[in-house]
Structure 1
Amino acid sequence: MQYKDAQISDRNEIMALKPTIYKANLNLVDMNQDLYCSEKLTIALHPSETETRMMVRIVAFALNYDTDLSFTKGLSTADEPDLWVVRPDGSIPCWIEVGQASADRLRKGVSRADKVKLYAYGSEVDVWWPKHASDLNALPKTEIFAFDANEAEQLPQLCERNMELTVTISEDHIFVTSDKGQVELKLTTLSS
């Protein structure tokens, strides 16, 4: 009997951690494209992912809104980006990564999609970009943007398991608003 209990205990210890599920009612106001819509989003926060990263994924969703845009398995799957647009015929018009992706990671998107976008954020972007700029600039069909680290780090203050978010886009400024407050983000183009 003691042996069986030990097996069960060991099994529980090695079980993989599951993602935390977040829900967001997203109201999008994109003045650049004269687009106004609402979406109900379900977002999985991977155990190794921060709330900042998850919120940047939501902002990337708003910036690239398309009826076929979806979140993928993200960090747990090497063959998929963070978000992508996949048409019913299987074509991939847009492959979207978040963070400080390598050129190899983006090459995978370039080989499969019509367009690749990277949204970098965090305090290390100023160090990461000069080291990788030449490799990343050489990639065709690729656009790279960055959020100010201090601004992006404010996004988790809006985060809740069930969120009502409004994302307003005007030129290169993004305003993310909830009942908990507002965060303004400035998007900088690093490469296009």
Structure 2
Amino acid sequence: MALNATIYKVELQISDMDRHYYATHALTVARHPSETEERLMVRLLAFALYAEDRLEFGKGISDEDEPALWRKAYTDEIELWIEVGLPDETRIRKACGRSRQVVILNYGGNAAEIWWQKNAAALGRNRNLSVLDIPASTVTALTGLLQRGMRLQALVQDGQLQLMNDTDAVAVDPVKRMVTAELVS
């Protein structure tokens, strides 16, 4: 018997001072049985960093043709493609060809460092690609906020993000490995 996805309900209030974006999003996020809690929280972090009315979660792990998150234009052109984790270089190249901008939120501590060293030269050829690294300690702290029903506030200012619930707060300061000039965050 196949396992079902675990559903999380999230009320995410975003105050992004850098982009002057202020909104509350009611999100329903499915966690595939093979997805870790860490990956789920990094997907929520990505949503908070790049939130917009048209930003939506892709099928992710269960569909190789969709990213973790994406934003499409009204013409169905892909404006922003967001991957989380340690994606294959071929997948990234394909995403860069299909989308105006591609962002990777890389996490995983030492594994992320090894992934970057292995792929940095090849990834540098993609002019529409940004790679941000989320430190392992930050991902662990984010996972501490995880509940089936969450009310979170995200405050973004000067490239840093504070993600908080009623009792705890996690400061997120992504390491910018590679950033395109066009990227807003």
Moved over 4 A (4+): none
Aligned counterparts of 1:175 and 1:54: Cα–Cα separation in 2: 17
- 2:21 paired with 1:35: yes
> In structure 1, which of residues 73, 76, 87 is the aligned counterpart of residue 62 of structure 2?
76
How many pairs are equivalent?
Answer: 178
Q: Is the 8 A contact 2:18 2:159 kept in 1?
A: no
Q: Is the 8 A contact 1:172 1:188 kept in 2?
A: no
Output the aligned Cα RMSD: 1.1
Shift, 1:179, TM fit: 2.2
Quote the Cα distance in structure 2 between the aligned partners of 1:99 and 1:180. 28
Output the CA distance in 2 between the equivalents of 1:153 and 1:131: 24
* Counterpart-to-counterpart distance in 2, 1:101 and 1:31: 30
Please give the alpha-carbon distance, in whole angstroms, between the structure 2 residues aligned to 1:79 and 1:39.
25
Residues 158-183 of structure 1, C-alpha deviations (whole Å, 9 max, x = no match): 11111000111111321110124111
C-alpha distance in 1 between matches for 2:124 and 2:3: 37
| 1:88-107 equivalent positions in 2, closer than 5 A | 88-107=74-93
Q: What's the TM-score once normalised by structure 1's chain length?
A: 0.89
- Alpha-carbon shift at residue 88 of structure 1 (Å): 3.0
Match of 1:24 in 2: 10
| Larger relative helix fraction | 1
Residues 158, 180 of structure 1: 8 Å contact kept: no
- Asked if 2 retains the 8 angstrom alpha-carbon contact of 1:94 and 1:116, the reply is yes
**1:48-127 alignment to 2 at 5 Å?**
48-123=34-109, 124-127=111-114
Unmatched runs of 5 consecutive residues or more in structure 2: 180-185
Structure 1: give runs of 5+ residues left out of the alignment: 1-14
Deviates more, 1:77-86 or 1:88-97: 88-97
1:156 matched residue in structure 2: 143
Identity across matched positions, percent: 36
